[in-house]
Amino acid sequence: MTKALDTSHLWMPFTANRQFKEKPRLMVSAAGMYYTTDDGRKILDGTAGLWCVNAGHCHPKIVEAVQKQVAVMDFAPTFQMGHPKAFEAAAALAEIAPDGMNRVFFCNDGSEGVDTALKIALAYHRARGNAGRTRLVGRERAYHGVGFGGIAVGGIAANRKQFGPGLAATDHIRHPLNLEKNAYSRGLPVNGAEMADELEQRLLALHDPSSVAAVILEPLQGSTGVIVPPAGYLEKIRAICDRHGILLIFDEVITAFGRLGTAFGADYFKVKPDMIVCAKGLTNATVPMGAVIVKQAIHDTLMEAAPADSIEFFHGYTYSGHPVAAAAAIATLEVYKEEQLFERAAAISPYFEDAAHSLKGLPLVKDIRNLGLVCGIELEGISGKPGARAYDLFNQAFWDKGLLIRTTADVVALSPPLIINKAQIDQMFSSIADLLKSIK
């Protein structure tokens, strides 16, 4: 008999540790669309891990690239040194980024990417003689990771309240979710573009535009329950930022790499930000890596503002452009191209949308919203126990239906790998339907 696993030492992230450890949900291997659990059950991955395994698990080409690289060169510094793979990975990312967004700063994850982008924004304005532009604007219900910068512009109370005042000069616009007007929208909600106007009418009026460095937004808010922007909303935000010389940062940690059927959310919405933060799907999550993709003009401003032989930007991580991560990123971007996974996601999205909306009318369903290969199913909560309803469903899906879903408050969020097929989509939604019908 195998020795029982000692779960006591690991302090798990974003987890109800004591509850988890009473009955651990453990995965031991993965391939394609499935995990295998420690008791040998196959679990259909309805969430691409954590919105990150876009090409499916253990893709042979990516696995091979990682294995090869780790044996050739495990690590090389990128401070005042370099190695070809980091440059190649940056070039490959620039190639699929929107036009003119072709300078890449590597980090290790989404949180570091967000902090990096915020710092680039501050440094950029300073380099242009606008050192007073220090205010950073985010949005309520935004998730920008867990760094101090990210939680400051983020809009999730639970992620902020344990940690003191954080960054002072931040503010937030409201999120555009509106169930009264937009429940059961398919794709972009038609109402609510005017929610963008409060950036100008309320926040810029209050703080003065000349104090604002950047606005950061997830084009589609994922982690807090799939909030799809109303048609025209992002265009308005872009126009307001342009009017006032404010940089627009898209946090595409979830929406990049095919989630919406395009390389980036910026492509889907046809709105070009000044910087894109990405991570997760960049390496298909095999090795941690994040990146900030920056408009060349912003990069060049920082280069030109500093003496030629000086460090232009005092920022970086030991593992920025780590060789193994860089090899994984190069292989992953090739896989997306060779297998046309973004196009595949776009092609199967209408089927996914129909399957998602087939849950309308089932017990406790309050809203269904979707875009690309993302959908949120909002449930009626249990009075006095926020999140408990969806957590029960998550547990039942895992134990009884062999399905991994993600929940946030009482919203079920689905974001499968882009390789999902129609039968697997049917399995996912019919399992959820069965569970909803059986709720007493």
Binding site for ligand PLP (CB under 6 A): 109-111, 114, 143-145, 218, 222-223, 251, 253-254, 279
Token pair, residue 414, equals 């689905």
Token pair, residue 221, equals 């808010």
Alpha carbon distances (Å) from 352 to 31, 100, 150, 264? 22, 33, 31, 19
| Shorter beta-carbon distance to ligand PLP: residue 14 or 314 | 14
Q: How far, in Å, CA of 184 to CA of 197, rounded?
A: 24
| Shorter beta-carbon distance to ligand PLP: residue 200 or 252 | 252
| Shorter beta-carbon distance to ligand PLP: residue 209 or 416 | 416
- Output the smallest distance, CB 251 to ligand PLP, in A: 4
Residue nearest to ligand PLP (CB): 110
- Output the smallest distance, CB 151 to ligand PLP, in A: 11
| Shorter beta-carbon distance to ligand PLP: residue 114 or 404 | 114
Strand pairing of 411-414 and 406-408? antiparallel
- Output the smallest distance, CB 301 to ligand PLP, in A: 25
| Shorter beta-carbon distance to ligand PLP: residue 280 or 299 | 280
- Output the smallest distance, CB 13 to ligand PLP, in A: 9
Nearest to 437 by CA among 365, 357, 354: 365
- Output the smallest distance, CB 289 to ligand PLP, in A: 9
| Shorter beta-carbon distance to ligand PLP: residue 110 or 176 | 110
- Output the smallest distance, CB 109 to ligand PLP, in A: 3
> Distance between the two ends of the chain, CA-based, in angstroms?
39
- Output the smallest distance, CB 277 to ligand PLP, in A: 7
Nearest to 247 by CA among 115, 106, 101, 122: 122
- Output the smallest distance, CB 50 to ligand PLP, in A: 6
**Which residues, including other chains, have CB under 8 Å from residue 131's CB and lie 6 or more apart?**
125
Token pair, residue 166, equals 């954080």
Q: What is the maximum span of the chain, computed from C-alpha positions, in angstroms?
A: 70
Q: How far, in Å, CA of 81 to CA of 30, rounded?
A: 36
- Output the smallest distance, CB 399 to ligand PLP, in A: 25
Helix, strand, coil percentages in the chain from 3-state DSSP, rounded to 5: 40, 20, 40
Q: How far, in Å, CA of 335 to CA of 284, rounded?
A: 10
- Output the smallest distance, CB 374 to ligand PLP, in A: 11
| Shorter beta-carbon distance to ligand PLP: residue 215 or 253 | 253
**What is the SS3 string spanning 78-146?**
CCCCCCHHHHHHHHHHHHHCCCCEEEEEEECCHHHHHHHHHHHHHHHHHHCCCCCCCEEEEECCCCCCC
| Shorter beta-carbon distance to ligand PLP: residue 57 or 280 | 280
Q: How far, in Å, CA of 59 to CA of 61, rounded?
A: 6
| Shorter beta-carbon distance to ligand PLP: residue 110 or 189 | 110
Token pair, residue 191, equals 């109402």
Alpha carbon distances (Å) from 135 to 55, 119, 200, 238? 38, 11, 14, 17
Cβ contact 345:258 at 8 Å: yes
| Shorter beta-carbon distance to ligand PLP: residue 222 or 273 | 222
